[in-house]
A = this chain, B = another copy of it.
């Protein structure tokens, strides 16, 4: 697969075609409502995404590379817990959604359409109906084959009343949804906690602070759910947390008089509740037989009887995670990615020099080749070959686009024992490294 190693030149990349970035948050350069959100502005003005319609965005090359990395991370963790990947249709027949009663319940949020034979469909905003219907169509699944854990990473559609903040509240977005099928409540809860652990690992690896807020845990024997939130001011949810006790919950769960469910271990006077705005980036849900009962989705137990599956569903807002993480990490003018999701890891800037420019560029290409010989750095290195620009001018672009590591080939790179300036953009640190140190450092860069 050697040609993945071809060199990438900034001059040929689809990024930031000379757009002028608004100087401050208040300065709007677009008619679109909700552009006041910083991540949305940064992603638009740096060609990470592009608008197609209100609430619908194209993922441009840098954005899609980040999304594909997130996809690989999620694939990895889902498959590590026995998840098998599928892809269901986007269109769903009306009668399947009528069966669950959600055709009416979802109401105007459902995009609906008719085909040329006048059959009605909706564009799936989620897939409980289709997957349960699928499982009920299989003949004779034995209890020995359970648990079945199926997931997909596909586009979802929701006709939001007020789409805004770019990918955070869009009408077309990427979601990971897993559906699990177990023999009974006990095994379904094992699945539930296995999946919660997998979610924890995913969010830990992304390295952005998150709050895992409980739904009705421990209160009612019935439904069980957890929500994963990134804390951002523009979030739709209010999350209550207390550092002194275990409370982390969506405010919706507090009773009307402000009284908390009794999962709080402290007397009410000692509980120091804080309310923060959060955007939901994941949720886990124990469903029981809600859908399997409707669709008569059953397996055969040891005695050969048909028993309804005990189900769970587990969602991750893929495009939402991407933008919410950028919202949390970025500065006003510079994008910061979760390090593992940065579209490319290393950005090389060779010095502009009237007489020795070619030597600097050749050395940059040589370095790029050395980096990309390492399998984990294939496709991860770009060379800023805009040799008419100063180092400083190009460094601003690199910083703005959030490349994690900038390697500058300045005068010291031409000395007999060359030294390279390496900038860690997230930390804002600069270190000079010898070639050997630089390559050793490159080996430590983890990619996915």
CA distance A56 to B90 in the complex (A): 9
Q: Is A144 an interface residue (CB 8 A)?
A: yes
Q: In the bound complex, do residue B155 and residue A90 qualify as a contact, i.e. CB atoms below 8 Å apart?
A: yes
Within 8 A of B (CB), among A161-191: 161, 171-172
A79 neighbours in B (Cβ, 8 Å): 3-4, 379
- Add 4 more A-B contacts to A17-B140, A52-B92, A58-B89 (CB < 8 A): A52-B130, A57-B89, A64-B86, A91-B111
A-B contact pairs, 29 of them (CB 8 A): A4-B79, A4-B80, A12-B145, A13-B84, A14-B86, A14-B148, A14-B150, A47-B138, A52-B89, A52-B134, A53-B89, A53-B92, A53-B121, A58-B87, A58-B88, A58-B89, A58-B134, A59-B86, A59-B87, A59-B88, A61-B84, A68-B85, A90-B172, A112-B113, A113-B113, A113-B123, A115-B159, A115-B171, A155-B155
Q: In the bound complex, do residue B89 and residue A56 qualify as a contact, i.e. CB atoms below 8 Å apart?
A: yes
Q: In the bound complex, do residue A80 and residue B139 qualify as a contact, i.e. CB atoms below 8 Å apart?
A: no
CA distance A108 to B115 in the complex (A): 8
CA distance A60 to B131 in the complex (A): 11
Q: In the bound complex, do residue A18 and residue B89 qualify as a contact, i.e. CB atoms below 8 Å apart?
A: no
Q: Is A141 an interface residue (CB 8 A)?
A: yes
A76 neighbours in B (Cβ, 8 Å): 1, 3-4
Q: Is A50 an interface residue (CB 8 A)?
A: yes
Q: Give chain B nearest CB distance to A182 CB in angstroms.
A: 13
A6 neighbours in B (Cβ, 8 Å): 80
A393 neighbours in B (Cβ, 8 Å): none
Q: Is A137 an interface residue (CB 8 A)?
A: yes
Q: Give chain B nearest CB distance to A418 CB in angstroms.
A: 29
CA distance A221 to B274 in the complex (A): 71
Q: Is A157 an interface residue (CB 8 A)?
A: yes
> What's the dominant secondary structure at chain A's contact region?
mixed
Closest B residue to A53 by beta carbon equals: B93
> How does the 8 Å CB contact mask read for A60-94 relative to B, with 1 for contact and 0 for none?
11001101100000001001101011111111110
Q: Give chain B nearest CB distance to A138 CB in angstroms.
A: 5
A85 neighbours in B (Cβ, 8 Å): 61, 64-65, 68
Q: Is A430 an interface residue (CB 8 A)?
A: no
Closest B residue to A60 by beta carbon equals: B86
Within 8 A of B (CB), among A78-129: 79-80, 82, 84-93, 108, 111-113, 115-116, 119, 121, 123
A89 neighbours in B (Cβ, 8 Å): 52-53, 56-58, 172
Q: Is A23 an interface residue (CB 8 A)?
A: no
Q: Is A11 an interface residue (CB 8 A)?
A: yes
The count of chain A contact residues (Cβ–Cβ below 8 Å) is 67
CA distance A18 to B137 in the complex (A): 12
Q: Is A427 an interface residue (CB 8 A)?
A: no
Closest B residue to A79 by beta carbon equals: B4
A356 neighbours in B (Cβ, 8 Å): none
Candidates B17, B84, B161; contact of A139 at CB < 8 Å: B17
- The list of the 3 closest CB pairs from A to B, nearest first, reads A113-B113, A61-B84, A52-B89
Q: In the bound complex, do residue A88 and residue B140 qualify as a contact, i.e. CB atoms below 8 Å apart?
A: no
Q: In the bound complex, do residue A172 and residue B139 qualify as a contact, i.e. CB atoms below 8 Å apart?
A: no
Q: Give chain B nearest CB distance to A404 CB in angstroms.
A: 20
Q: Give chain B nearest CB distance to A394 CB in angstroms.
A: 15
Q: In the bound complex, do residue A108 and residue B116 qualify as a contact, i.e. CB atoms below 8 Å apart?
A: yes
CA distance A48 to B407 in the complex (A): 47
A134 neighbours in B (Cβ, 8 Å): 50, 52, 58
CA distance A221 to B116 in the complex (A): 38
A139 neighbours in B (Cβ, 8 Å): 17-19
A90 neighbours in B (Cβ, 8 Å): 90, 155, 157, 172
A155 neighbours in B (Cβ, 8 Å): 90, 154-155
Q: In the bound complex, do residue A53 and residue B91 qualify as a contact, i.e. CB atoms below 8 Å apart?
A: yes
Q: Give chain B nearest CB distance to A292 CB in angstroms.
A: 16
Q: Give chain B nearest CB distance to A139 CB in angstroms.
A: 6
Q: In the bound complex, do residue A87 and residue B115 qualify as a contact, i.e. CB atoms below 8 Å apart?
A: no
Candidates B18, B56, B111; contact of A140 at CB < 8 Å: B18
Candidates B13, B88, B91, B116; contact of A157 at CB < 8 Å: B91
A80 neighbours in B (Cβ, 8 Å): 3-4, 6
A86 neighbours in B (Cβ, 8 Å): 14, 58-61, 64
